[in-house]
Every structure is written in structure tokens, then in C-alpha cells.
Amino acid sequence: MKKVLCVISILTIILTSVLPAIAEEKFSLYNGLQFGMTMNQAMGKLGYSSRNKRDADNLGRPYLSGYVWNFLDIDSVDIAVHFDENGLSKTVVYELGSYYDRYEIDYQQYNRIEALLKGKYGYTEYNNTTAKRLPFKEAEFMTKYPYGTDHNVYAMTSLNGQDAYNHSGTYYYHKLSCPQFSQWVVPVSDGYVVVEHSLWCHEAWVTSARGDKTPDFYELINYAFLTETEYDTLIKDKPLDVYNGI
């Protein structure tokens, strides 16, 4: 009998260890928001109305953007939801903070949120300390995946560098950098969810006053759902540290 109980105990331990590694059936976000929802369903979960509809993201599709209150112990969080060609939710972005000077950045909040995510998803080798990012095929991601038309565009594109555009004969320069980030891949029943927590810096200046840069900083959490096919298409090499529930 003792041997039987011992075997049962061992099996219980093994199953307890293995079950968290099984892909999550549903990946829930704010207030039960999930991927694969229609715009009306997402509006219901977020408490949004037609006033929260935005004209078009990078793929020309309507999306949602608005504020929720007292979420993650933050007074207000801007949550944007983007939809696929079938009108189902595909990416979700939380803007947790925006700052107009590096001295205003709430690093205490950033570290607290980072600890919450690490507690849920575990260690990841994809972060600013290792200087490794998920190996997105950036060109395909930028042209095939829905994302925001504002600073949300910076999330999860590995976009670092400088761009310029001409307006009325004056060149305006934009420099994007991501001084802090962590990325995870979470398996779900029908694909993967890529999670990124990041602090983005956006600097802008004109040719005649290059020394007068105006940096803006944004703390974001970006969630993107990828089917198995999309994962194989958009990720160059399969990451080694896919979240296993530990």
C-alpha cells in the first residue's frame, strides 16, 4: 500500500510539473479580453464605445484605442486593440506611461511591471541586458501585421535607427531607440502569443536645430497572436526559451 501511495505521489508531482507547460486554451487580457474577438466584443470587455474607434492602422483597418482606469495599480492605461482581415482581435497594446523627459520616467513602475511579467512567464534571454531580440522577419512583420499608427508602431518591430522626412523644404529627423525591453513567446492552443514589455525613446529634431532634441518615452506592453503558420513565417529561427509554465 505504501508503494502504491508512493507511486501515486510521484505521478501527482510529475503531472503537476507537466500540466503548466501545456499550451493555454485561452490567453486572457484586461477584463477577459481575448484574441479572436470581434470589435463589438472587445468594446464590451473594455467598456469602450463608438468614440473609441479609430480610422485605420498600418493596414488600413479600423482599431480601438482608449483609456481604462486603475489597472495594474496605474491610474490610467491606454489600451489599443487591432484586428485581422476577418475583423478579429490580433494585437493588443497597453501604454502604461508616457514621459516628456528622461528624468520623469517612472522606473519604479517599470521594474514592478517587469517583475510581474517575469513572475508569470519566467526568464527570457531576449532582453536589453543580453541585447538579443526575437528574430522577427521585420519587413514581413511590418507589412502583414496590424499595429498602431502612433508610438504603438515601435513595439515589437526591432526598429532602432534614424529616419527623416521633408516638410516644406525643412528636414525633420526622428530617432527611435529601445533602451529597455524583454520579450517572451507563450504557446496557446492554436498558436503563440508574443509578449513584449518595453521602454521606447523617440527623439525628434529639425536640421537647423539638431542639438535641440525633444525625447519622448513610452512604457508599453505589446501582445501579438501568431498562428502556427505565421510564427513560422515571421520568426526567422524558433526561439529556444518558449515559455513552459515554470
Tell me the Ramachandran region of residue 169: left when phi exceeds 0, alpha when psi lies from -120 to 50, beta otherwise: left
7: Cβ contacts below 8 Å, ≥ 6 apart: none
Paired with 127 in beta bridges are 182
Element (H, E) at 141: helix 138-144
Mean pLDDT of 163-179: 61
Q: Which amino acid, one-letter code, is at 85?
A: E
pTM: 0.77
- Determine the Cα–Cα distance for residues 125 and 10; give it in Å rounded to an integer: 32
Mean pLDDT of 193-222: 76
pLDDT of residue 109: 94
Secondary structure (3-state) at 28:
strand
C-alpha 195: how far from its chain's center? 5
Mean pLDDT of 68-92: 93
**Is pLDDT above 90 for 218?**
no
pLDDT one-digit tens code per residue, 99-149: 877 778 899 999 999 999 999 999 999 998 998 888 877 667 767 777 654
62: nearest Cα among 72, 70, 52: 52
Q: Give the start-end residues of each E strand in the chain.
A: 53-54, 63-71, 74-83, 89-99, 161-167, 170-188, 191-206, 216-226
Please check whether residue 95 is in contact with residue 78, taking contact to mean a CB–CB distance below 8 angstroms: yes
Q: Which of 91-95, 110-114, 176-180 has the lowest mean pLDDT?
A: 176-180
